[in-house]
Amino acid sequence: MKKLTALLAATLLIISGYAKSFTIEDTATTQDTPDSKCNPPSAQSLFEEDTDTIFAWIDFKNHLAGNTYHYVWRNSLDANIKTRSYPARTYDSNGCSFTPFDISLIEKNEDNMLYVDFYYNNNTVPEETMAIEIDFDGPFDISKTDIPDFDQSILDDKISYPDYYLTAYYCGPSAASNWLKYFDEQGYNFVDDSLSSSNSVRQQFSIIKTLGEDKYMKTQSSKESGTGFSSFIRGIDQYVTSHGHKIKKLEYYGWRLVNNQTYRRANIIPDPNIIREKFGENTAIWLSLGWYEKDSSSNTYERKSGHYVTVAGFGHNGTESDSDYLILHDSSKRSKTTTNEYVQFTQLPADAEMIKGCGNICNEFTHHGSSISFGDLYQITGDIAINTGSGANTAIIDGIYILQLEETDEAPETDVSITISDVTETDDKQGSLQKFRIDVKNSGPDTAVDTEINLDVSLGSELTVMFAEDENRVQCKTQNSKAVCNIYRIDNDTDYAPNKTISLYAYVVPSQAGTLTIDVSASSYNFDPDTNNNQTSLSKTINGTPFCQEFSDTVSNHEVNNRVYSETAAGWWWFPGTTTYYITGSQENLGTNANLQVTLKEQPQGYFSKGSCNQENAPTLSISSTSVAAKKIDISGTANDNENNIDSIHALIESQDGFLIDLECVGTTNWNCEAADLPENEYTATLFAVDKTGLVSEINSSVKIDFTINGSAQHNPQINSHNLNITNDSIIISGT
């Protein structure tokens, strides 16, 4: 249980020989995914049990242009636990940085202090140091709320799911399978390897079906039986050990008897507060609930039936921390949701009684030899779906089951296997902008990883911009012909789950016609670029096509290469008919001579016409004025083309963090671009013109604008002066 309270104190060091420039303005710690626009996160002081990674956010100003810099995170023992390096900026700027790091390294501090030092270039003395005091003592854990929540309704639908039919009384195996399926994903091998990983339902069903067998839980398909108390815990024991894993602890807290006393605890009251102490790594917890009917006029309860649910977290009500809450996964078809049920637990009244009518269960409670009273038990309310069909109106915790596994050598670390499956040229072109798709497949486990993708484009081509379909998850930096993209993938993020392919896109402006060689490399690491877990690379040569190509050949050879097609008129038995040749695209008539030598040009791709390519010049573009106000930039300028065929003007506006706007401007020879409602950030706007032949104006520093959006303060209206005149029953007020 962790409560991470960050008390931030920025300490300014006096450095002789250095002019003070860099200043840490603000800091925050969070577990939320970094904002691609680098907005301040919602600062957290509480972090879940067994959190692997947190993010530290730093806001700074007065960065000196032309300086490379890096952060060094260290603990009280001066052990370096994270280094993040950044390239030099070309201009003075403010900015921010998200740094992810392993929380376990902070826990090793002797005095719970964490430090971050900022360095320019390769200086040995930091420009500034920030100190954070950490206090671990937390009341909630929601780190496992993404474990499976099997939909038990398919087990009772023989018509729609005949292959999964087991009846509705398999709540015990279903609840158990949620944790066992999760452990399998962590490397514990609880699923038959022959089952395809793409069918998660089939995999979990195999666990449920096996658990229900006589060897394990001996689940009976009847309302009176289902899964017994002893059978549930025995089944867990047998299933785990039969799969070759060791159990560190297997405990039962409850008033009902279990046959094997090894599982029982001395404190048999199923107190949900125990969960705070027991919830942790490699630990699974389940509840056995009793459905009771409470008499409306007294504190008497009659037990009607029971149910098993999975505990997925505690101490949170879905909105904020609350120590009286549990987070459950209820697999029953009564469940109102297939995700998290937030339930509040409260102790029954001291005079609560279990009344007769429950047969041996009542005898069990009365004669098990303990001083426990029925009023010691806890009921739960909230999202729980009570089995009202049995006549019940109250859910009471009958028992708590706790399993803790020994760590397994087979359980993978948070490594990730990255493969670059393909690099292809797409059909999506804009003039001479060629768009390439880079498919990066994550084959690793479903854990938090940081993947760095590097893209090199040869032949002097300039990488204009690189981005992904989900901009909020990919941050890219571009410089010359290289791009570096950081892909953040957080636990159970379906967009970047195992075996998912992430498609990144690159727009490239070729410096010459012909071929382009795309070199892509990927490195993956668990938020520590100094310890790469996996590296892969792919080099692919793509044949780019000039925007006007000439082909000189006979008409018949042109037809073979699909530049020409033919039509044959109907003839007679003594005359086969006349074949006439036409150009593909322009449909110009080339006559009937198949051996005629003809020069054709292809412009644009796939469109042919008679003649040669003209040596046209690319258009030129110049910027006349730039205005930045509030959250808006306005850019105007002119463009020129010798052939007077300018098609469009474009502005690519990219933030420091990879946020991209592709804006088509208004006008051609005289143009204007306006981008409004920009988030606060540092931006670079790149302007270029495209003519109707596909040629693009030169992209250089003269058509790039660096600017910063700081937002604008909202000012209340102000009265400067006023006059008050009272005449009889009239009041006249005037002023400015």
Kindly state the helix (H) or strand (E) to which residue 641 belongs, with its residue range: none
Q: Which structure tokens are listed for 13?
A: 């060091």
The pLDDT of residue 469 is: 40
| Stretch among 185-189, 411-415, 460-464 having the lowest mean pLDDT | 411-415
Q: Pinpoint the alpha helices (H) of 538-691.
A: 555-560
Higher-confidence residue: 332 or 69? 332
pLDDT at position 623, please? 94
Residue type, position 27, single letter: T
Q: Which two tokens stand for residue 416?
A: 């990730």
Q: Where are the alpha helices (DSSP H) in 593-699?
A: none
What is the Cα gyration radius of the chain?
35
Mean pLDDT calculated for residue range 586-597: 91
The arithmetic mean of pLDDT across residues 593-612, rounded, is: 85
On the 0-12 / 13-18 / 19+ scale of CB atoms within 10 A, 118 is buried
- Which of 144, 143, 214, 152 lies closest to 177 in space, CA to CA? 152
With vertex at residue 402, the alpha carbon angle to CA 139 and CA 292, rounded to the nearest 5 degrees, is 90
Q: Which residue has the higher pLDDT, 682 or 131?
A: 682
In terms of average pLDDT, the best of 89-98, 235-244, 337-346, 513-522 is: 235-244
Residue 36 near residue 679, CB atoms below 8 Å: no
**DSSP one-letter string for 677-688:** SPPSEEEEEEEE
Sign, Cα dihedral of 263, 266, 272, 273? negative
What beta strand segments (E) does 414-527 contain? 418-425, 434-442, 449-457, 462-468, 474-479, 482-489, 500-509, 515-525
Q: Is the pLDDT of residue 166 over 50?
A: yes
Asked if pLDDT for residue 218 goes beyond 80, the answer is yes
pLDDT at 137 over 70: no
First to last CA, the chain: 61
The closest alpha carbon to 678, from 632, 626, 714, belongs to 632
Task: Look up residue 596 and give its amino acid.
Answer: L
For residue 334, which amino acid is it?
R
Enter the tokens of residue 116.
């971050």
Answer left, alpha or beta for residue 431, where phi above 0 means left and psi between -120 and 50 means alpha.
left
Which has more pLDDT, 734 or 228? 228
Beta pairing class for 353-354 and 300-316: parallel
Give the pLDDT of residue 596: 93
Average pLDDT of every residue of the chain: 70
Alpha-carbon distance of 185 to 412, in angstroms, equals 9
Q: Which residue, 337, 229, 349, is CA-closest to 289? A: 229
SS3 labels along 174-188: HHHHHHHHHHHHHHH
Could you tell me the CA-to-CA distances from 470 to 298, 452, 663, 677 in Å, in that order? 57, 16, 18, 20
Which pLDDT band, with edges at 50, 70 and 90, does 588 fall under? very high
Q: What is the pLDDT of residues 546-575, one digit of tens each?
A: 556 788 999 999 999 999 998 887 666 666
pLDDT at 722: 58
Structure tokens at 587: 């449909």
Residue 560: Cβ within 10 Å count: 10
8 Å CB contact between 652 and 659: no
Cβ contact 432:696 at 8 Å: yes
- For position 56, what pLDDT does the model report? 72
Above 90 in pLDDT, residue 52? no
Q: Collapse the DSSP code of 107 into the 3-class scheme (helix H, G, I; strand E, B; otherwise coil) and give the result.
A: helix
**Length in residues, the chain:** 736
Nearest to 581 by CA among 596, 601, 599: 596
Does the pLDDT of residue 294 top 50, yes or no?
yes
- Residue 493 tokens read as 């993020």
Ramachandran region of residue 278, left (φ > 0), alpha (ψ -120 to 50) or beta?
alpha
pLDDT over 50 (residue 131): yes
Q: For residue 521, what are its two tokens?
A: 């490399």
SS3 content of the chain, % helix, strand, coil (to 5): 15, 45, 45
Amino acid at 594: A
**Residue of 346 and 545 predicted with greater confidence:** 346
Split at pLDDT 50, 70, 90, the class of 243 is confident
Dist. CA 21–CA 138, nearest whole Å: 38
- pLDDT at site 372: 67
Higher pLDDT, 313 or 51: 313
Distance CA 534, CA 76 (A): 31
> Among 33-37, 281-285, 649-653, which stretch is predicted with the lowest mean pLDDT?
33-37
pLDDT confidence band for 421 (50 / 70 / 90): low
pLDDT band at 246 (very low <50, low <70, confident <90, very high): confident
Q: Among candidates 356, 552, 537, which has minimal Cα distance to 440?
A: 537
Domains detected in the chain: 7-133 (2.60.40.150), 152-405 (no CATH), 418-543 (2.60.40.740), 549-610 (no CATH), 620-709 (2.60.40.10)
353-409 pLDDT, tens digit per residue, is 887 655 555 545 544 445 567 888 899 999 888 888 888 899 999 889 999 988 765
Residues contacting residue 199 through CB under 8 Å, at least 6 positions apart = none
Residue 135 CA to residue 113 CA, distance in Å, equals: 9
What pLDDT score was predicted for residue 68? Answer: 78
Q: At residue 78, does pLDDT exceed 60?
A: yes
pLDDT tier for residue 479 given thresholds of 50, 70 and 90 = very low
Percent of the chain with pLDDT over 70: 54
